[in-house]
Amino acid sequence: MTKQTKKPMGNSNTMLMTAKQMSAVSGIGENTIRKLMECGELEYLQIGSHRLLCPDAIGDYYERHKTPVVKSCVRAESA
């Protein structure tokens, strides 16, 4: 019989994550993730009393809220 080992929290192979696991992976605070879910900014799956996030949900949030690069701020080199 083989011994099963637990996967570490935030494993990139995890399909769904809790807010705590997503926080560890993304660097966004757990409370912030929960608030974003409550206000509809982060997509999640409700299973019983658990709210689970797909890693793509953070990517989608990032794409919607990232600050674009402003090329006029880049200093031109002197000739």
Q: What is the pLDDT along the chain (79 residues), one digit of tens a residue?
A: 555 544 444 445 668 999 999 999 999 999 999 999 999 999 999 999 999 999 999 999 999 999 988 887 656 665 5
CB 51 within 8 Å of CB 35: no
Query: Rounded to 5 degrees, what angle do the CA atoms 22, 28, 30 make?
Result: 65
What is the pTM assigned to this prediction? Answer: 0.68
Sign of the C-alpha dihedral, residues 54, 55, 60, 66? positive
